[in-house]
A and B are shown apart, each in its own frame.
Chain A
Amino acid sequence: MFGLIVMIMFDLTIGYFMLKSHPHLFHPINDMGFVKWVDTYGKNNLYETAWLFFLIIFMAILSVNTFICTTKRVSVLFRNQSAFNQTFRFILKLAPHIMHYALLIMLLGYLISYLSAETYLSNILLPEKSLRIPNSSCEMHLNRLHIDYYQGERLQYMHNRAINVQADLTIQNKEKTVTSRLGFNKPVWFFPYSIHLKDFAPKSKSGMNRRAYIDVIIKKDPGLKYYFSGMILFTFGLLLYSIHWLTQQKKITEE
């Protein structure tokens, strides 16, 4: 594992310099999905993108290694469960393994996401107009666009510029209708889609009066629930691990 992580770090260092010098090659990964990206940017710029392919191979090896090692240790722990007089102590002992399994769930989520997520960019919606979500029977309607402009003194560069954007959307298909408020960092969920606000107009109260619109990203990501559950589980495991280590140290100090 030592050698593998050193190799991953070396690979990531190369990746850092490649991303820094050729960001335009990697940006489309999110927009077009990994498979299409490999067929276009990836294959045709192999010198700049090889590190990413190596990273995937290394991560696959790391995942298999982590799964085997953790499963072995967990099975030993469960066999010796009776040796722990308190359930909490047993759970604390499980903390590193919870983190390992959580990492695997996260990696699985990313794998699913990069192989099968669908992203639809540049979906312009005008107030009181509708738009169909591509390749589906869902229709989106912008009921109202409300923009707050900053009027305070503290943030001088924001004066008369938009500080809060709220778009009331109605999304419907044959089965259901959902009305919800979209904002920056506040996507609207309409299973299996999430709708994210990317851009809007008018951004400023003064200057040329532009026509009101919003630009949304429509995302269908089946890996989402896996990588976010993995993150929650990992955080839980990490907190348990920290508590375990700190209580152990306290005991050593007291002794």
Chain B
Amino acid sequence: MIQHSFLLSAIFYTLSFGGAIAGKKHLSGILLIAGLLANAYSIGIRYWLTFPMLPLYQGPFFLPFFIGIFSFKAVWNDLYKRSNILLIISVLTWAAVFFPNDHYLPFIQFKTILSHLFFLFGVIGRAFFILSGVQAYLCVWKRKTDGIAAYSLQDIRRSVIWGYLFWTLSVFCGAIWSYMGWGSPVVWDDPIIVTAMATWLYYSLYLHLHLISFVNIKNRPFFAVAGACWVIAFNCLPDMGNFMLPGIP
């Protein structure tokens, strides 16, 4: 059921994207809701089969859902935004379908609220960062083609601030969990720790851009796009595995 429901959500998201491209607003909207529901069902089962432990390396299956939820209001009202955000959601969903990570059995150290907060806040942070990148792309692109930005700089900054808040909380929860479980706030044999730190520093820098003289307002969206590319490359891809056809009986 896990594979079926997630595959179904990938199909719904892609069809919704197709509907948005074709200008079928209502059909696309219904398919988007269907995709989110199938995705939520898949997440629910993943948690049901592991709780109170953590569904390890399952982030890629949660990510499209959170991006969809956080951008729902905006994409519901605007077909242009919807098609672009749905393209990203569809790509991320199919990537999760075809590049799943190895299956690891959870261990007892995962049985703590801190591990769940670390994981969920981390996925939410990533979702906001990727969303800010898409918003920034639309802000620049739409302004170039039509002269009116689809998203404002405030929208991008809002997503970055939310992402930064959740990412920071995730890093702190991870550090406290690591200390409680292993007696050290940093586990030095996991390379993801340094990229998490780099992401945190990058978005700290983003929040300081207004203080840097050579970065004018027009350039700021490019930093959000670059940040989203970084997050996908170094915070999302390491959670994925080798190419594999979905094993559906």
Contacts and interface: CB of A to CB of B under 8 A. Distances in A.
Q: Do A and B come from one complex?
A: yes
A17 B195 CA distance: 10
A219 B111 contact: no
A173 interface: no
A27 B189 contact: yes
A231 interface: yes
Nearest to B179: A224
Interface stretch (A1-9, A126-134, A136-144): A1-9
Interface stretch (B25-33, B143-151, B168-176): B168-176
Interface in B195-215: 195, 197-198, 201-202, 204-205, 208, 212, 214-215
Given A185-B109, A235-B168, A20 B191 contact: yes
Interface string A18-34: 01100110110110000
Task: Using C-beta atoms within 8 Å of the partner chain, give the interface range for chain A.
Answer: 35 or more
Nearest to A234: B168
A222 interface: no
B175 to A, nearest CB: 7
Interface string B95-127: 000000000010011011010000000000000
B206 to A, nearest CB: 10
Interface in B164-193: 164-165, 168-169, 172, 175-177, 179-191, 193
A185 B183 contact: no
Interface stretch (A77-85, A86-94, A155-163, A204-212): A155-163
A252 interface: yes
B181 A184 contact: yes
B24 interface: no
A21 to B, nearest CB: 9
A165 B172 contact: no
B170 to A, nearest CB: 12
B191 A16 contact: yes
A27 B189 CA distance: 5
A179 to B, nearest CB: 20
Given A8-B198, A224-B179, A231-B172, A19 B189 contact: yes
Interface in A101-134: 110, 113, 119
A228 interface: yes
B202 A5 contact: yes
A162 B186 contact: no
Contacts of B172: 231, 234-235
Contact of B195 (A16, A155, A249): A16
Contacts of B158: 245-246, 249
Interface centre among A1, A16, A113, A196 (most CB of B within 10 A): A16
A214 B109 CA distance: 14
B105 A157 contact: yes
Contact of B183 (A24, A110, A196, A228): A196
Contacts of B176: 228, 231
Nearest to B169: A235
Contact of B198 (A9, A17, A187, A242): A9
A119 B195 contact: no
Nearest to A10: B198
Nearest to A18: B191
B194 A16 contact: yes
A246 B169 CA distance: 18
B140 interface: no
Given A12-B195, A155-B49, A26 B188 contact: yes
B154 interface: yes
A75 to B, nearest CB: 17
A197 to B, nearest CB: 8
Interface of B: 48-50, 53, 105, 108-109, 111-112, 114, 154, 157-158, 161-162, 164-165, 168-169, 172, 175-177, 179-191, 193-195, 197-198, 201-202, 204-205, 208, 212, 214-215, 234
16 contacts: A2-B214, A5-B201, A12-B197, A13-B195, A19-B190, A19-B194, A30-B186, A30-B188, A184-B108, A185-B109, A185-B111, A185-B181, A227-B175, A228-B176, A231-B172, A245-B158
Interface of A: 1-2, 5, 8-9, 12-13, 15-17, 19-20, 23-24, 26-27, 29-30, 110, 113, 119, 154-155, 157, 162-165, 184-187, 194, 196, 198, 217, 219, 221, 224, 227-228, 231, 234-235, 238-239, 241-242, 245-246, 249, 252
In the A-B complex, the 7 residue pairs with the closest CB atoms: A19-B191, A219-B183, A12-B198, A27-B189, A30-B184, A185-B112, A20-B191
